[in-house]
């Protein structure tokens, strides 16, 4: 059995947040005694990630995804519990560890704003102590994979959001990290750019066998890249397993798409009609009744086509969160 690249056990992060009532009296009171509140951002979570896995880390805003990623990247000191990545304790921030991982934050710019990305890449070469030949080969490979072209010669501030994200990713991977923490890498990008980045991550994982932990609010990212997902809410893990099992476990219904010969048939008695367009209809049916309803439709009407599908992954995730409330 291979050793886990990421090992997390009972990992917890509690933030102390200052808090006071509004008004002058409360302000004066706070001068003497400062009130704080504990926010349990991550509560005793545990999981392991094997070498080369691409895992989706899902949850609503404030669920604890980014906090977990930051603890694994060594940016945050855990309150308790254990985290090990590539055999290192991230909070010790050992240089040998930092050379083997990277974290890309979709909403943050880590390249120098005023100069062309090529100059920032050169600086990263020096920071990561890369041999020039290796650096040039890796840089050219990444530039080609992401189709960055001459964008690297423009000052970063003159690039569009999508272009900036691509050069950010090139800069973050020049040292060929073995572990990638990607925090919303496609946030704010158009559909074409999202697809490009997804393809790139898959290609990088395939070429270099890197392990990837990815957060994204775009289910297309997760469906395209991750066989396994970890769902977190209120700092606790709700699900950890194959993406394909998520719907089985949490979806309470399936959808039946039906194409009828007679577009005037009344369908309300079969289930909730989500949409109706003449002879085409989509019904939402409780999971346990799907087979029976499908059989009834086929026997009672002239059906030209019928499909049974799991609900969209966005809906399943919403159900997971709803069930945890």
Partner 1 sequence: MSSRAAPLPEEGRLRSLVDFYATQMRTSVVAQLQYRAANYFYMLGMVAEPVIYLVVWSTIARQHGGAVNGITAGQFAAYYIVWTLVRNMNIVFGAPFWEWRIREGRLAGDLLRPLNILHYDLAYFAGWKFVVVALWLPIAVGLSAVFHPDLHPSALQVVVFVVAIWGAYFVRSMFQATIGMLNFWTTRGAAVFDLYMATEMLLSGRLVPLQLMPGWVQTFADFLPFKWTFGFPIESLVSNLSTRSLLLGLGAQVMWTVIGYVLFTFAWRAAIKRFSAVGA
Residues of this chain that bind partner 1 (CB under 8 A): 15, 51-52, 70, 73-77, 93, 95-96, 98-100, 102-103, 105, 108, 110, 112, 114-115, 119-120, 122-123, 125-131, 134-135, 137-138, 141, 155, 175-178, 207-211
* Shortest Cβ 68–partner 1 spacing (Å): 12
* Shortest Cβ 62–partner 1 spacing (Å): 12
* Shortest Cβ 108–partner 1 spacing (Å): 5
Please identify, using beta-carbon distances, which residue of 171 and 311 lies nearer to partner 1: 171
Please identify, using beta-carbon distances, which residue of 74 and 311 lies nearer to partner 1: 74
The rounded distance, in Å, linking the Cα atoms of 60 and 317 is: 9
Please identify, using beta-carbon distances, which residue of 93 and 227 lies nearer to partner 1: 93
The rounded distance, in Å, linking the Cα atoms of 42 and 206 is: 31
Alpha carbon distances (Å) from 213 to 48, 58, 109, 227? 11, 10, 20, 12
| Dihedral sign from CA coordinates of 136, 139, 144, 148 | negative
Residues 6+ apart with CB under 8 A from 282: 255, 256, 257, 258, 273, 274, 275, 276
Count CB neighbours of 221 within 10 A: 23
User: DSSP per residue over 2-15, as a string?
Assistant: PPPSEEEEEEEEEE
Alpha carbon distances (Å) from 282 to 179, 255, 276? 42, 7, 7
Count CB neighbours of 279 within 10 A: 16
Please identify, using beta-carbon distances, which residue of 49 and 103 lies nearer to partner 1: 103
* Shortest Cβ 258–partner 1 spacing (Å): 48
* Shortest Cβ 85–partner 1 spacing (Å): 13
* Shortest Cβ 186–partner 1 spacing (Å): 19
Q: Which stretches of 78-116 are DSSP H helices? A: 95-98
* Shortest Cβ 280–partner 1 spacing (Å): 48
| Dihedral sign from CA coordinates of 299, 303, 308, 312 | negative
* Shortest Cβ 222–partner 1 spacing (Å): 23
* Shortest Cβ 126–partner 1 spacing (Å): 4
Token pair recorded at residue 95: 């240089």
Please identify, using beta-carbon distances, which residue of 58 and 118 lies nearer to partner 1: 118
Residue at token pair 């890249």: 225
Token pair recorded at residue 226: 């991750």
Please identify, using beta-carbon distances, which residue of 210 and 293 lies nearer to partner 1: 210
Backbone angles phi, psi at 80, to 5 degrees: -160, 175
Say how far residue 58 (Cα) sits from the centre of its chain.
Answer: 6
Please identify, using beta-carbon distances, which residue of 168 and 294 lies nearer to partner 1: 168
If you count them, how many residues does the chain have? 325
Please identify, using beta-carbon distances, which residue of 144 and 190 lies nearer to partner 1: 144
Strands 303-309 and 280-286: unpaired
Please identify, using beta-carbon distances, which residue of 204 and 239 lies nearer to partner 1: 204
């Amino acid at each position: 059995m291979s050793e886990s690249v990421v090992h997390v056990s009972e990992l917890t992060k509690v933030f102390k947040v200052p808090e006071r009532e509004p008004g002058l009296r409360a302000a004066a009171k706070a001068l003497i005694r400062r009130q704080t509140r504990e926010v349990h951002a991550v509560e005793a979570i545990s999981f392991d990630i094997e070498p080369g896995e691409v895992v989706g880390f899902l949850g609503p805003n404030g669920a604890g995804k980014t906090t977990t990623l930051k603890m694994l990247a060594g940016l945050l000191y855990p309150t308790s519990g254990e985290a090990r990545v590539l055999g290192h304790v991230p909070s010790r921030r050992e240089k040998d560890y930092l050379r083997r991982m990277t974290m890309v934050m979709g909403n943050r710019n880590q390249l120098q704003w005023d100069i062309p990305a090529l100059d920032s890449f050169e600086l990263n070469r020096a920071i990561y102590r890369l041999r020039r030949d290796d650096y040039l080969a890796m840089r050219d490979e990444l530039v080609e994979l992401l189709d960055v072209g001459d964008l690297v010669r423009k000052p970063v501030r003159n690039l569009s959001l999508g272009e900036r994200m691509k050069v950010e990713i090139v800069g973050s991977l020049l040292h060929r990290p073995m572990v990638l923490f990607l925090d919303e890498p496609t946030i704010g990008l158009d559909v074409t750019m999202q697809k490009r980045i997804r393809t790139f991550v898959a290609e990088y994982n395939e070429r270099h066998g890197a392990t990837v932990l990815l957060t994204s609010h775009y289910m297309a990212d997760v469906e395209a890249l991750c066989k396994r997902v970890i769902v977190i809410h209120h700092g606790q893990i709700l699900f950890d397993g194959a993406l394909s099992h998520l719907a089985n476990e949490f979806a309470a219904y399936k959808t039946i798409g039906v194409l009828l010969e007679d577009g005037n048939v009344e369908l309300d008695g079969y289930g909730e009609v989500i949409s109706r367009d003449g002879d085409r209809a989509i019904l939402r049916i409780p999971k346990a009744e799907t087979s029976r309803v499908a059989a009834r439709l086929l026997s009672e009407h002239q059906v030209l086509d019928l499909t049974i599908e799991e609900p969209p992954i966005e809906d399943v995730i919403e159900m997971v969160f709803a069930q945890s409330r």
